[in-house]
Structure 1
Amino acid sequence: MPKVTVPGFESFEAEKGKKLVLALEDNGIDILHRCGGKAKCTTCRVKVHEGDFGPLTDIEKEAFKRKGMDDSLRLSCQVRLTDEDVKVEPEMTAAVSGLDPGPRPEN
């Protein structure tokens, strides 16, 4: 199982193929996902410090273009864990923003 590291939190293992947003949330990281994982709000975006999720998806490209955002980030609702260990940093969390995380994304 791949290991996920988030600065300020303990590393954890999660099953290969799991959406990153769900792995983060299930391990106590209060990442936002205001649109429920539909790539509309971009609140689940993360910086990837180590590891690779492959090329940006078309959905991510469109979301970043629509929001005028840098496409060096990834949407944790759109990427899945591979065999590779990763180190990611959420751009927005419920604790920092004061917002409700939003509906839980589907698997």
Structure 2
Amino acid sequence: MPRIVIENLFNLSINSEASHRKVIELIHENGIDWMHACGKKGRCTSCKIIVQEGMQNLSEPNERELFYRNQNRLQSNERLSCQAVLEKGEIIVRVAEINKFPHIEYSE
């Protein structure tokens, strides 16, 4: 069963019955506010996730993500949640410091 654990949101766990879904869709469907300035189109990096574990459970980086990596706007352990597809298993992620909302309490 696909699962997302958001480490700096008090290890919030999201379980999904369906695989092959975009990470941001699973996050939003579970009522979690997650930044996405471009409307989930891969035109910015505001929805990025820092992948602590489970990178192998995500789809390969696509053209948009590689574009931002080449510009040094995405590191090798970062993905765009609007582009990355959770194919199987578990990922453990963090909200990037720059993408945190002021109205949400985060853990460290």
TM-score norm. by structure 1 comes to 0.76
- Once the two structures are superposed, residues 9-65 of structure 1 have per-residue CA deviations (whole angstroms, 9 ceiling, x without a partner) of 431212211110111122232110110111112100010011122432221011343
- Separation of aligned partners in 2, 1:23 and 1:63: 23
- Separation of aligned partners in 2, 1:12 and 1:78: 18
Report deviation, 1:84. 1.6
Q: Which residue of 2 aligns with 1:6?
A: 6
Aligned residues: 96
- Separation of aligned partners in 2, 1:57 and 1:96: 31
- Separation of aligned partners in 1, 2:91 and 2:4: 5
- When you count strand as a share of all residues, which structure comes out higher? 2
Please tell me the root mean square deviation across aligned C-alpha atoms, in Å.
Answer: 2.0
The within-5 A match list for 1:44-83 is: 44-51=47-54, 52=56, 53-66=58-71, 68-72=72-76, 73-83=78-88
Which ranges of structure 2 fall in alignment gaps of 5 or more residues?
Answer: none
- Separation of aligned partners in 1, 2:80 and 2:29: 17
% identical aligned pairs: 28
- Match of 1:40, SS state, is coil
Which ranges of structure 1 fall in alignment gaps of 5 or more residues?
Answer: 98-107
